[in-house]
């Protein structure tokens, strides 16, 4: 057995608080996955829900596109989910952004197609076609097999879902998008206490917990929601949330 595999097996037998402490660096250390993948130009997106100023969005898209950021799958998904929530509230702004995207890269245009898909708005489907943003055959097939309702995505089985839930939260600050992430963190504690580390949901739940760990110090609404959920929990169900909050 390799040294790396032996170490991994040892880690999986640690109690959950110690396991998370070993696997997750402290929040004041170097930036972690999601935070590291959000460039400075995307900070208006991360904290958009605090002020909800649609006038910043065109500049945000131009900056991200100029830096070739939409070529990165995770940022494309964060942005698509973020925009989908904007589109749900402001159809006129959506139409303007669809037109604007025609002057941008193909990756930006694909992001727009995903945003329209996740918005679930058939009027925007038609508007997208009208401005010439038709998805190619491959993307069309992908969309056909992807739920339009973000809350239908399984966050423990899809890394894509985790990125999209964050994007939707950045746009709205809505607890609806925090709930599936926190549920996954609760699941992690239960799986760990039962020794079910080979459960197909375990890796996804760990990824979600790591993401919550890194983002909690940055978003007071998230910290407040974690405290509210923790107040009704006990035993293994509470372990992950308690570890995240105590570490931050």
Given a contact cutoff of 8 angstroms between Cβ atoms, the answer to whether 83 and 97 are in contact is: yes
pLDDT value of residue 28: 36
Q: From CA 100, how far away is CA 54, in angstroms rounded?
A: 14
Instruction: For residue range 154-205, list pLDDT tens digits in order.
Output: 999 888 999 999 999 999 999 999 999 999 999 999 999 999 999 999 999 9
- Burial degree of 178 (CB within 10 A; 0-12, 13-18, 19+): buried
**pLDDT (tens digit, 9 = 90+) per residue, 95-150?**
999 999 999 999 999 999 999 999 999 999 999 989 888 888 888 899 999 999 99
**Under 8 Å between Cβ of 4 and 226:** no
Rounded distance between C-alpha atoms, residue 165 and residue 201, angstroms = 17
* Domain boundaries, given as residue ranges, for the chain: 16-32+157-247, 41-148
Report the alpha-carbon distance of residue 156 to residue 131 in Å, rounded: 36
Closest CA to 114 of 135, 131, 130, 92: 135
HSE-CB for 86 with a 13 A CA cutoff: 29
The H or E element containing residue 18 is: helix 16-23
Alpha-carbon span 169 to 85, nearest angstrom? 9
Considering the entire predicted model, what is its pTM?
0.85
How far is Cα 181 from Cα 37, in angstroms, rounded to an integer?
Answer: 19
């Amino acid at each position: 057995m390799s040294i790396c595999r032996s170490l991994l097996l040892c880690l999986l037998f640690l109690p959950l608080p110690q396991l998370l402490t070993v696997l997750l660096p402290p929040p004041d250390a170097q930036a972690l996955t999601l935070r590291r993948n959000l460039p400075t130009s995307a900070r208006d997106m991360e904290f958009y829900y605090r002020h909800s100023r649609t006038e910043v969005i065109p500049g945000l898209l131009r900056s991200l596109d100029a830096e070739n950021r939409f070529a990165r799958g995770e940022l494309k998904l964060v942005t698509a989910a973020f925009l989908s929530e904007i589109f749900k509230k402001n159809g006129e702004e959506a139409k303007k952004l669809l037109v604007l995207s025609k002057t941008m890269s193909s990756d930006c245009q694909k992001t727009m197609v995903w945003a329209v898909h996740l918005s679930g708005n058939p009027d925007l489907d038609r508007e997208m076609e009208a401005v010439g943003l038709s998805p190619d055959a491959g993307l069309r097939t992908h969309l056909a097999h992807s739920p339009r309702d973000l809350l239908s995505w399984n966050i423990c089985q899809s890394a894509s879902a985790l990125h999209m839930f964050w994007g939707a939260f950045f746009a709205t600050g809505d607890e609806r998008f925090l709930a599936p992430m926190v549920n996954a963190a609760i699941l992690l504690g239960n799986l760990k206490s039962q020794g079910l580390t080979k459960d197909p949901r375990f890796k996804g739940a760990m990824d979600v917990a790591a993401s919550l760990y890194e983002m909690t110090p940055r978003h007071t609404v998230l910290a407040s929601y974690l405290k509210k959920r923790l107040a009704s929990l006990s035993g293994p169900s509470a372990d992950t949330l308690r570890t995240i909050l105590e570490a931050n």
